Chains A and B, each alone.
Chain A
Amino acid sequence: MWCARLALNRMEVAKMRHIGLCGLILAALLIGGCGKIELQDTGIPLSVGADLKDDQIDLAICLANPLPTEKSTDNEPQFMVLNSSGSTFSEAIRNISLSFSDYPLWSHLQLSIVGENLARSDMSLVLDFITRNRYVRKDLLIVVTHKVTPAEILSVKPILAPHPPTAIKKMLKIQEAETGIYTPMNYTEILHRFLTAGIEPIIPMITIDRSGAEDRFLLDGMAVFKGRKMVGILNENESRGFRLMRPEQIRGGLFIMPSPLNRKNLVTLELSRSQAKITPVFKDNQMIMKIQLKAEGNFYEQSGTDNLFTEPMFKRLEAAAEQELTQQILDSIHKAQELNSDIFGWGEMVYRSDPRIWKTLEPKWDQIFPAVQSDISVDFSLRRSYLTDKSFVFR
């Protein structure tokens, strides 16, 4: 055998290599087609809504209904909602497969809607499944319903946008840049907030505005969690304050304040950028959160005809804006302390600045947090008023 091997000349070795290569390619042919899913055989779930009803998980899945282009002008809805229930999330999903023929492509899930019932009882029912599903993207947005069920949300036909989840996703993003009220929360951040000590989850809420002829979506408040349960709601102003204290730079948003000349008139300013810096300070065995906000904004609108465009008026405008922003921050801190939920992640900040102190504080953080003092200083600078440099004078 040895001799035979040694006797192989180069040509034979080369031939054997070729045979080996062909064998490899044939082997590839044999394993070929693993995980192959033709697009015709798929359903594309864009959103999954989960709620708790009589101790059963109640699921509503919004599937895109890809219509042939010729028919898309028809009034046929471009989505459909499947409902099912089960004692666990997986069982509810499985029950959908029992009545739906195609493979669900979970990778295109855009929005997860959590019913208020479920949020108030236990969020882990949803998060566990999403975490384990390898197809779900980690930038999935999450909202909590307010007074309605996810199935109701998903049955609303959105204006212009083809599917409710895309509409809600866009709404969350655009309202933040335009008005600066609610902060969209994606799955990665929510999971971090749920799993880390010293920071609590907070999720924007959505409800249905039934006042008009047709139902509309309405973003309304932010759900505040304590542990795995939802404990309360931040209103619009408190949500603004929460957003201002985000650790990253924020851009965009309008806010309204009384005019410094005439308290009856209102002035609207645009927040072009703002950066909060929060540092825990220990003084006399007492912890103070030092919140420094550096913000810039532009003049947007005023409801009177006062001449605000003078050098001293700018200073007064800035002072008024600083006061307004401080108030928003204070409101949100009060609400969070009232609900005893550390949505700002102050505990985590303490841990980062001094892990040893955090070790002693962590067990009794629930008692400490509601009493933590804050020292807020806002530095607002008015940058421009766009092309208008004089107030309108109506005659």
Chain B
Amino acid sequence: MRIIKHKNQAKLRPPEELIKQPISASFQENLDRLSRLLSSCSDVVIKEFSFGQPGIRAGIFFFDGLVDKYQVEYSLLKPLMLELNMQNNPPPVNSIQDMLNYVETRILNMSELKKLDSLQDVCHHMTSGDTVLLIDGYTEGLVAGTRSWEARAVQTPENEITVFGPKEGFTETLRFNTALLRRKLKSTQFKMESLTIGRVTKTDVIVCYIDNIAPAGLVEEVKKRLENIDIDAILDTGYIAELITDYKWTIFTQTEHTEKPDRVCGQLLEGKVCIIADGSPMALIVPISFPEYMISPEDYYVHFIAASLFRMLRFVAFLMALLLPSLYVAIITYHHEMIPTPLLLTIASTRQGIPFPAFLEALLLEFTFELLREAGLRLPRAVGPAVSIVGALIIGDSAVRAGLVSTPMVVVVAFTGIASFVNPSYNAGIIIRIARFGFLFASALLGFMGIIIALILMMLRMASLSSFGLPYLSPLAPLNLSQMGDILVRRPWFNNHNRPYIGGMQNVVRQAGPEQDGGR
């Protein structure tokens, strides 16, 4: 037994070695090798046939479900098996010196055809949904682009809802996504460089940038970092975000995710680089600075005065979502003198007989809110109303009636919750949610002093970060007054002549000079 097994191993190469082999001139050998490589792959289709007079052995290989079978049958098999023979004067196959070339250029009516010469390429293309044609006697094969599978159509993004502006969103299919971008940026300067990352998933990752706007160094750096990734799988751009950021051990994310092509285009036009990956509807934008998290793409579509006010509102909401519970706890446990007497009396009257200290009460309610929020995310649609009723009635109303929590605390936590949903960026929302608890602890320990210490620590940390060389707090720190016009307020388009500058950018002029401005 042992000997036989040993012999078998000696005879048959292991698959890792087999796949590195080039395509053999013998079709039979190729067929054997591929059959072994693809053994136990129940979705593989191998169709053997012969064509011409006298027949030449050939075969097509593809994975079922990834290809358009109609196209395979009518554009690949039909020309070879039927039309070649039905020509008026079918040239004898022997007379053609290079049959492979002849098939590629004269017979197959397909636009996407490529030659390949290794089994590795064959497998890669097959798994990507292409169809491979191997012809006996040639060390090269033909690959035909027949990718087609059931995919989600382009829909309105569910998580980034805007009133104005384009409504389409990215899907899981990379080609759809690149098409969405290309349709908006009809320029040859808009580049999409492709990479393959992931040892198992072999995910197609595309780096998008506008050549004469994005700093060359930035593009190089992004590509370098992507090439350095060595991981078995990239299932979402979230993997990439974590792998390529400068500072990894921090809650302050340095990339932005978006489902909206218009937002990506807006960022590309400001010199950013966008990374999209097959299978992920989230595009990744780098570099990003923290103040940019407050910007919604919608700001650029509505009237600039309204947009500026919305943006200021968003900054206020950001501060409220971050600090409101801790400010409340600090005031009612340390700084009673800071609120007017009638307000203090109102609060005091609601706190009669509350069994918990204010800090614990805030912590419990915040925790409850996070629970409800997390539960709400994953609720099956049928139980959604039930959970809202439990959340609103039982926790909100009954807890107050039972005297477990005080009403102002419920108001504060609810207010904080609403304020945290104002933020247009989910990433920033996560930062706020985590930091809020830190501030709560700080305020319970030292009151306002604790909040100030925590704020200083947070600002120090944020100021020390950078995203691909862009300081995390720019343009606030280091201060760049010329760019402030697009942070707290939205600069009107008629007055917005330059792109916001990021290091190394060459082409900063976005609009004709101010002398052409005819506005009053």
Interface, chain A (partner B; CB < 8 A): 28-29, 31-40, 42, 44, 46, 64, 66-69, 72, 105, 107-108, 110, 135, 137, 166
Q: Closest approach, in angstroms, between the C-beta of A216 and any C-beta of chain B?
A: 22
Contact partner, B348, options A42, A107, A110, Cβ 8 Å: A42
**In the bound complex, do residue B351 and residue A40 qualify as a contact, i.e. CB atoms below 8 Å apart?**
yes
Chain A contacts for B337, CB-based, 8 A: 105, 107-108, 135, 137
Decide yes or no whether B513 CB sits under 8 A from chain A: no
**In the bound complex, do residue A66 and residue B446 qualify as a contact, i.e. CB atoms below 8 Å apart?**
no
**In the bound complex, do residue A39 and residue B333 qualify as a contact, i.e. CB atoms below 8 Å apart?**
yes
**In the bound complex, do residue A37 and residue B336 qualify as a contact, i.e. CB atoms below 8 Å apart?**
yes
A28-B446, A29-B445, A32-B445 known; A107 vs B336 contact (CB < 8 Å): yes
Decide yes or no whether B245 CB sits under 8 A from chain A: no
**In the bound complex, do residue B446 and residue A32 qualify as a contact, i.e. CB atoms below 8 Å apart?**
yes
**In the bound complex, do residue B445 and residue A44 qualify as a contact, i.e. CB atoms below 8 Å apart?**
no
Closest 7 CB pairs between A and B?
A: A107-B337, A32-B445, A66-B349, A66-B348, A39-B332, A108-B341, A39-B351
7 residue pairs from A and B, CB less than 8 Å apart: A32-B444, A32-B446, A39-B358, A69-B407, A108-B336, A108-B341, A110-B341
- With most chain A CB atoms within 10 A of its CB, the pick from B334, B348, B453 is B348
- With most chain B CB atoms within 10 A of its CB, the pick from A34, A35, A72, A108 is A108
**In the bound complex, do residue B353 and residue A66 qualify as a contact, i.e. CB atoms below 8 Å apart?**
no
Chain A contacts for B333, CB-based, 8 A: 36-39
Chain A contacts for B353, CB-based, 8 A: 40, 68
Closest to A165 in B: B341
**In the bound complex, do residue A28 and residue B336 qualify as a contact, i.e. CB atoms below 8 Å apart?**
no
Q: Closest approach, in angstroms, between the C-beta of B328 and any C-beta of chain A?
A: 11
Q: Closest approach, in angstroms, between the C-beta of B155 and any C-beta of chain A?
A: 45
Chain B contacts for A166, CB-based, 8 A: 341-342
Q: How far is the CA of A46 from the CA of B354 in the complex (A)?
A: 23
A28-B453, A107-B336, A135-B337 known; A40 vs B352 contact (CB < 8 Å): yes
**In the bound complex, do residue B350 and residue A38 qualify as a contact, i.e. CB atoms below 8 Å apart?**
no
**In the bound complex, do residue A44 and residue B344 qualify as a contact, i.e. CB atoms below 8 Å apart?**
yes
A32-B450, A108-B344 given; name 4 further pairs at CB < 8 Å: A32-B444, A32-B446, A69-B407, A166-B341
Q: How far is the CA of A40 from the CA of B351 in the complex (A)?
A: 6
**In the bound complex, do residue B446 and residue A39 qualify as a contact, i.e. CB atoms below 8 Å apart?**
no
**In the bound complex, do residue A39 and residue B347 qualify as a contact, i.e. CB atoms below 8 Å apart?**
yes
Decide yes or no whether B81 CB sits under 8 A from chain A: no
Contact partner, B349, options A69, A107, A110, Cβ 8 Å: A69
Q: Closest approach, in angstroms, between the C-beta of B404 and any C-beta of chain A?
A: 13
Q: Closest approach, in angstroms, between the C-beta of B411 and any C-beta of chain A?
A: 13
**In the bound complex, do residue B344 and residue A35 qualify as a contact, i.e. CB atoms below 8 Å apart?**
no
Contact with A along B340-376 (1 / 0, CB 8 A): 0110111111111110011000000000000000000
Chain B contacts for A29, CB-based, 8 A: 445
**In the bound complex, do residue B341 and residue A46 qualify as a contact, i.e. CB atoms below 8 Å apart?**
yes
Contact partner, B450, options A28, A42, A66, Cβ 8 Å: A28
**In the bound complex, do residue B349 and residue A72 qualify as a contact, i.e. CB atoms below 8 Å apart?**
yes
Q: How far is the CA of A38 from the CA of B337 in the complex (A)?
A: 13
Chain B contacts for A110, CB-based, 8 A: 341
Chain B contacts for A105, CB-based, 8 A: 336-337, 344
Contact partner, B354, options A40, A69, A72, Cβ 8 Å: A40
**In the bound complex, do residue A38 and residue B358 qualify as a contact, i.e. CB atoms below 8 Å apart?**
yes
Q: Closest approach, in angstroms, between the C-beta of B167 and any C-beta of chain A?
A: 46
Q: How far is the CA of A107 from the CA of B347 in the complex (A)?
A: 16
Contact partner, B345, options A35, A36, A44, A135, Cβ 8 Å: A44
Q: Closest approach, in angstroms, between the C-beta of A149 and any C-beta of chain B?
A: 24
Closest to B352 in A: A68
Chain A contacts for B444, CB-based, 8 A: 32-33, 36
Q: Closest approach, in angstroms, between the C-beta of B62 and any C-beta of chain A?
A: 52
Chain A contacts for B446, CB-based, 8 A: 28, 31-32, 34
A37-B334, A39-B348 known; A44 vs B341 contact (CB < 8 Å): yes
Q: Closest approach, in angstroms, between the C-beta of A48 and any C-beta of chain B?
A: 14
**In the bound complex, do residue B350 and residue A69 qualify as a contact, i.e. CB atoms below 8 Å apart?**
yes
Q: Closest approach, in angstroms, between the C-beta of B414 and any C-beta of chain A?
A: 18
Closest to B331 in A: A39
Q: How far is the CA of A28 from the CA of B333 in the complex (A)?
A: 17
Closest to A43 in B: B348
Chain A contacts for B407, CB-based, 8 A: 69
Contact partner, B352, options A32, A36, A46, A66, Cβ 8 Å: A66
Q: How far is the CA of A62 from the CA of B447 in the complex (A)?
A: 28
**In the bound complex, do residue A33 and residue B350 qualify as a contact, i.e. CB atoms below 8 Å apart?**
no
Chain B contacts for A69, CB-based, 8 A: 349-350, 407
**In the bound complex, do residue B334 and residue A36 qualify as a contact, i.e. CB atoms below 8 Å apart?**
yes
